[in-house]
Chains A and B, each alone.
Chain A
Amino acid sequence: MTFDVAVEVRLRPGIADPQGATVERALPALGFEGVTGVSVGKSIRFTVQADDESAARALVEDVCHRFLTNPVIEDSVVVLSPAVAAPVG
């Protein structure tokens, strides 16, 4: 089976987020009021071939832990779904 995977990499709670803080500070100057709690992360998308969903999830978790995130400062949220067939032609 093929699965579409979306991984959101984000800084762990308590880890300083200078990018998020800078974006948040810039908002009022641009006329946007009332926006708080800005954090900046990464979105990584790919497809995975595996026998079933749990096998795919296990593989993705391993990839996230060993490569896509640095567990010292980051964690990840995985969204995994059966791949939608690409349109023919």
Chain B
Amino acid sequence: MTNVAVVRFPGTNCEFDLVEVVTKLGATAEIVFHDVTSLGGADAVLIAGGFAHGDYLRPGAIARFSPIMSAIAEFAAEGGPVVGICNGFQILTEAHLLPGALQKNAGLKFRCEMVELRVETSDSALTSESNVGDVLRVPINHFEGNYTCSAETLAELRSEDRIVVRYVDNPNGSVHDIAGVCNEGRNVVGLMPHPERACDDLLGSSDGLVMMRSLLHAAGARLEPSA
């Protein structure tokens, strides 16, 4: 059975939501603490949101040096699917596993609301089960989600089709409305919105399921069609 490592740093607060969704989709999930050096044979890695190490200095700046990050970098280099959500995205950029940086929101407001995301590529560990142009309703919950990168990096991301999802209505000032990007291998994806909080109609949207299913598909999961 597909096993997903859900990484927890001191200050992570979305790990149980991820465990819930992964389990609901028929895979198993294991919370992996930041100070271990092995992913324990996981088939995919989820870096959950929150405020790792209090977001001191910068979001992700301290988490990047945690022992588990070497194992994640190695897993990613071997092509293993790695998805960072919100604070997880910030950690992946600080760790140089994804390009760019997340800055304070343009309006200096903490934004907590449902947003619409347009799928820009279906060739990534998070969107393989969706179609380009699909609009997904997924909530955001962040203060530092304003994606920033150099003009050269943006040109590269665009020409290599590495922008995974874009905001329909930009909530935070992100360059080119970027909500999520992937690495060159397309197996490492980071995004600010929280698909795990849009996985049940009770939560106002279940559009996040297609993303979580994509990740499990990338991990080699064999899911029931109706899962």
Contact with B along A46-89 (1 / 0, CB 8 A): 00000000000000000000011010110000000000000000
Q: Assess whether B148 is in contact with A72, with CB atoms less than 8 Å apart.
A: yes
Q: Assess whether B106 is in contact with A16, with CB atoms less than 8 Å apart.
A: yes
B100 at the interface (CB under 8 A from A): yes
Q: Assess whether A70 is in contact with B108, with CB atoms less than 8 Å apart.
A: no
Q: Enumerate A1-59 residues with CB–CB distance to B below 8 Å.
A: 15-16, 18-19, 22
Q: Assess whether A73 is in contact with B101, with CB atoms less than 8 Å apart.
A: yes
Specify the main secondary structure of chain B where it touches its partner.
loop
CB contacts (< 8 Å) of A19 on chain B: these are: 104, 108
B116 at the interface (CB under 8 A from A): no
Q: Quick one: given A15-B148, A16-B173, A18-B173, are A70 and B58 in contact (CB under 8 Å)?
A: yes
Q: Enumerate B64-113 residues with CB–CB distance to A below 8 Å.
A: 65, 93-94, 99-101, 103-108
Contact with A along B143-176 (1 / 0, CB 8 A): 0001011100000000000000000000001000
CB contacts (< 8 Å) of B61 on chain A: these are: 67, 70
CA distance A18 to B99 in the complex (A): 21
CB contacts (< 8 Å) of B173 on chain A: these are: 16, 18
CB contacts (< 8 Å) of A15 on chain B: these are: 103, 148
CA distance A19 to B108 in the complex (A): 7
Q: Quick one: given A18-B173, A67-B61, are A73 and B148 in contact (CB under 8 Å)?
A: yes
The residue from A18, A67, A70, A73 contacting B107, defined by CB atoms under 8 A apart: A18
Contact with A along B43-57 (1 / 0, CB 8 A): 000000000000001
CB contacts (< 8 Å) of A18 on chain B: these are: 103-108, 146, 173
Contact with A along B104-132 (1 / 0, CB 8 A): 11111000000000000000000000000
CA distance A73 to B106 in the complex (A): 14
Q: Quick one: given A16-B173, A18-B173, A67-B61, are A72 and B106 in contact (CB under 8 Å)?
A: no
Q: Assess whether A16 is in contact with B103, with CB atoms less than 8 Å apart.
A: yes
* CB-nearest residue of chain A to B101: A72
Tell me the minimal C-beta distance from B73 to chain A in angstroms: 15
CB contacts (< 8 Å) of B94 on chain A: these are: 70
Q: Assess whether A72 is in contact with B104, with CB atoms less than 8 Å apart.
A: no
| Beyond A67-B61, A73-B148, 9 extra complex contacts between A and B, CB < 8 Å | A16-B106, A16-B148, A18-B107, A68-B57, A70-B58, A70-B94, A70-B101, A72-B150, A73-B103
Interface residues of A (CB under 8 A from B): 15-16, 18-19, 22, 67-68, 70, 72-73
Top 5 A-B pairs, shortest CB-CB distance: A72-B101, A18-B108, A73-B101, A70-B101, A18-B104
Write 12 A-B pairs (CB below 8 A) sorted by A numbering.
A16-B106, A16-B146, A16-B148, A16-B173, A18-B103, A19-B108, A70-B94, A72-B100, A72-B148, A72-B149, A73-B101, A73-B148
